[in-house]
Every structure is written in C-alpha cells, then in structure tokens.
Amino acid sequence: MSVAAATTDAAPMKKRPSGAGAYGRVRLTEHLQLRRRLGGSASPSLSLPPPLLLAPMERLGDAHFRGAIQHAITHIRGPDEMCTEFMRVPEKSSNFESAALALARSYDALELAKRDDDDRATDAATGTPLAFQIMGGDAEKLAHVARLLASPKKLAAAARIDEAEASPPPPRIDLNCGCPANLVTGKGAGSSLLRTPDVLHDIVRAMVNAATESANEDYVSDEAWAACAASFAPRVSTSEGIFDDAAIAEAVRSLPPPPRVPVSVKMRSGFDDTSLFVDNLLAAQEAGASFVTIHPRTKREGYKPEADWSLIAKARDVLHIPVVGNGDVTSLEDARRLLAETGADGIMIGRGAAIDPFVFQRVRSGLCGSDDIQTDAEEAEMLVQMLRWHVDSIARAQKNPDARKAQIARIDRMKLLGKFLLHDNANFRDNLLRQPSSEQPSADAFEQALVALLRSEWRSHRRTRQRRARVNTFSGDRGRGKA
Ligand SMILES: Cc1cc2nc3c(=O)[nH]c(=O)nc-3n(C[C@H](O)[C@H](O)[C@H](O)COP(=O)(O)O)c2cc1C
C-alpha cells in the first residue's frame, strides 16, 4: 500500500495550517503516525520503513557514546533519533526550582549537530535529533522540567542567561517507566509508576500540558515554530529506496499537526506482573502521550527471560497511538521478526547498538531492499574512529586526563565497549579484559591494543548468529539503574 493510498483511506483529518510542516522533513512522531496508518505491514516491500531509535542507556549510551556514533557512523546510516539516558527529577528537594533548572540546563538539543572547530553547532539539520528522558514520581516537578525544556525563553530567564544560549526544545520528552533500581522504585519513580496507572496518567498529563503551553507561549505563530523545528528537528529516514518524497510530504500534510514538544512514555510490561499492562497503556494514551515504547519485561523479571514481544502486539491492538517495540533486537533478522510478530510502528535498539553499531544501517538497508553494506575492513576502520572519538571525548571532559586515575577510568570504559563489540572474542577476554586496569601501562597503550584487535578480529557476519548468547552475556552486567 502506498503512503498516499493509506492516508486517503483514513478518516478525514483537520488540515495542517500552512507553515507548520513547511520545513519539509518528517518528524519522528509524524513518521510513526504514518506507519500506524499503514497498518504496520511486515512486508519487505513496505513503502515506509519504521523509524529506528537508539534506546536510552545510562552510562553505556551517554554523550560520549552518542557523539562517537554520530561522528563515526551516521554518515552511512545511524538511528533516526537518539535519546539521553534518564535524568532524575528529585522528589524531595528543598529547592526544586533550582534542581529542575540544573536538569533542563544539562540538555542540549544541538548535541548531535555538526560542529565547527570552536565546537559551535553549525548545521543542526544534518545531525541526529536527541530526545530527553526524565524520571521521577512527582507530577508537578516533572511538569516544571518539561515547561523549562519546551521554552528557551523560560529557561533563559530562570537561568539568567541569554536566550541564544538556551537549548532549543527537545524533539520529544520521554518519561521513564522502566527503571528497576530499588533506590528509584522505592521513591515511586521509574517502573514503580506501573503499579498505579492513575498516577502515571496524571504525570503524563501534567507533562503534556506543561510542554504544550510552554512551547505555544514561546512560538506564538506556526511560522515561528516551523523555523525553530527546522533548526533542530532534522530528517527522519524518508530518503531511502522506495520513498517518494512528494507522496510523503502530501501524507504528512494530511496528518493532524503533532504536538510541538511531544511527550512519550517508555515502559516495561509491569512491576511484579503484567496485570496492569493494558491499564498503563490506556493511561498513557488518554493523558496525551504521542507514542509509547514497550520493553516487554516486568521489573521483577529484570533482563532474565527473553523479551515477550506478544505484549508489543497487544499494545498495538489496544492503542490508537503508535507503538515502538524494544527488547533483544540485535540484527536485521530480529527486526524483521519483531515487525512481523508485533506490527510495531518503530523499533528501538539498545544493547544491540553497542554490540554492532552498524545495526541501524543493516536493518534499514535490509528493510528497504538495498545493499550498501561495507566490508569488514571498512567497518573496522569506522569502529576505530568511533573508539578514538569516544575516548578523546572522555579525556576532554576529565580535569587532569594524564593522571593515573583518569587513565584507569578511560581503560575501564574501553573494557566496557570491548565487552560489547568483541564479546565473543577470546583474545579480548584473555588479554585485555582480564588484566586489572591498574596494571595496564597506560590508556594510550590499551587503546592501541584494542584498535589492533578490532582491525584484526571484527567480523560482521558473526553478529547475526549469537543473539541469545549476547543478550544473556550482558543481562546481569550491572544491576544498578538499568531500565
Ligand atoms: C546499561 C543500560 C542502561 C540503561 N539505561 C536506561 C535508561 O536510562 N532509561 C531507560 O528508559 N532505559 C534504560 N535501559 C533499558 C534500555 O533502554 C532498553 O529498554 C533495554 O536494554 C532493552 O532493549 P535492548 O534489548 O535493545 O537493549 C538501559 C539498559 C542498559 C543495558
């Protein structure tokens, strides 16, 4: 079914005002809505492939990781959108305004934009959009952060900075309803929100209202908003293979205008069990969430069992807003199966991107029927660049990068990356991983050894085989914070 046909079949929609959408790009929320209308076709000839999102991953997927992917990989094809790891909005704080302000200031919508030598964002439109994830249990406080994020004017006034220095609004604000850490759930945040659909509803509603009002106050006309959106909400991958840009543009024009700063919800399937799964889905939808992402394991399950994709299919049946499927996707085969089994409107990939940073390209190319995959040697070179960018980025953030402690921190990070990239490699395990970081001569020497290993050992064909092994290997790595 073509995009145009799909949209003509649908119920008549309010016409988008001229100006909005004139930026000629498809935002993630619109892309997901179009997919939703297309019926989640799993056919390889589908006219509109699903958007591919990088999952939020505390520590592993931090700004160093995202920057490295952006600089070394996205020129061939990266995720359509990345997301910050969760930022905690403290429930108890004597001065919550200043805590909220600190949080809002920690976000930079232009983090993944092209930059010049002086590190100024130059070409945001060719970068990757970066969503902002927050976590907390207090509706008022979460709404306050959403309000600041959606309005550079308010953020600048609160922070007493020039408006030009305040970040543009995020392409979306995501609410974390998945974090299983007891420290977090004990305070009513993360996955513990899944125990009380009413509270979840009120939090999402408060965030949606705050973000909408705030963005509307800043960008009073559609034209002002369109100009802002054009500067920070870049392309979604509608330019590959089968797409007809004119048909996409037409289809997008027929959609109701998306919220300026959409709020999405990322949830597990429940806390102790899945008995409230549907209530939570409906709570998020009724409160105005633009879409939900489902990681179908309960908090109690942690990462032990395989993700239960049938729950993604269930969410797709129950909801009319789009559903992004997440959990255990590490290859094109997994992505195809997820689409076929669930009809998901989008796919989110977390650990799979650390194991194989090319996974977004493999999935995109495979679904579009194109064949632009590079050789192992070319991939290894890109991984080397990625590693170097990552390690340099950490060194730049360290006060005294030459100090022994700082070097050990960089070695530890390289070990973490290697544990994913070279997880099945005995050479890495025996020679680089086992030896304590404090016994390594230097971060530079460790980096050279890892680079040599990547160049000699990287084999892309291995990536498709050991799905279970991979998921199991890393499921127990860090008990803290994983959502
Ligand atoms: C190291 C690590 C950190 C994570 N941090 C977050 C987080 O900050 N926010 C969140 O919503 N999920 C977080 N998650 C969960 C992932 O976003 C994702 O839902 C989960 O890993 C399942 O997807 P995957 O099989 O593609 O990795 C984290 C997962 C891992 C492995």
Q: Give the separation between CA 41 and CA 255, rounded to whole angstroms.
A: 19
Q: Is the pLDDT of residue 55 over 80?
A: yes
**Mean pLDDT taken over the chain:** 84
Q: Which atom of ligand 1 is nearest to the CA of 85?
A: 8
15-25 pLDDT tens trace: 433 332 333 45
64-89 pLDDT tens trace: 999 999 999 988 888 989 999 999 98
Min mean pLDDT across 150-164, 347-361, 387-401 is at 150-164
Min mean pLDDT across 307-316, 367-376, 453-462 is at 367-376
Whether ligand 1 lies within 6 angstroms of the CB of 58 is answered as yes
pLDDT the model gives residue 468:
44
Please name the residue whose Cα sits nearest to atom 14 of ligand 1.
483
Ligand 1 centre distance from Cα of residue 200 (Å): 20
pLDDT the model gives residue 19:
31
Q: Is the pLDDT of residue 1 over 60?
A: no
Whether ligand 1 lies within 6 angstroms of the CB of 349 is answered as yes
Query: Which residues lie closer than 8 Å to 427 by C-beta, 6 or more apart?
Result: 453, 457
pTM: 0.90
Give the mean model confidence (pLDDT) for residues 91-113. 82
Q: What percent of the chain has pLDDT over 70?
A: 83
Q: Is the pLDDT of residue 474 over 60?
A: no
Q: Is the pLDDT of residue 428 over 70?
A: yes
Angle, in degrees to the nearest 10, between helices 332-342 and 310-318: 40
Give the mean model confidence (pLDDT) for residues 108-122. 80
Catalytic sites, residue numbers: 179
Q: Which atom of ligand 1 is nearest to the CA of 307?
A: 25
pLDDT the model gives residue 355:
94
Q: Collapsing DSSP states into helix, strand and coil, what is residue 339?
A: helix
Query: Which residues lie closer than 8 Å to 417 by C-beta, 6 or more apart?
Result: 354, 387, 390
Q: What is the DSSP string of 161-225?
A: S-GGGSPPPPS-EEEEE----HHHHTTT-GGGGGG-HHHHHHHHHHHHHHHHHHHHHH--SHHHH
For residues 75 and 403, which has the higher predicted lDDT (pLDDT)? 403
Q: Give the separation between CA 184 and CA 206, rounded to whole angstroms.
A: 21
Please name the residue whose Cα sits nearest to atom 15 of ligand 1.
483
Residue 168, CB-side half-sphere exposure with 13 Å CA sphere: 26
Min mean pLDDT across 47-56, 282-291, 298-307 is at 47-56
Could you tell me the pLDDT band of residue 473, with boundaries at 50, 70 and 90? very low
Please, what are the domains in the chain? 3-368 (3.20.20.70), 376-475 (no CATH)
Q: Give the separation between CA 277 and CA 81, rounded to whole angstroms.
A: 26
pLDDT the model gives residue 124:
67
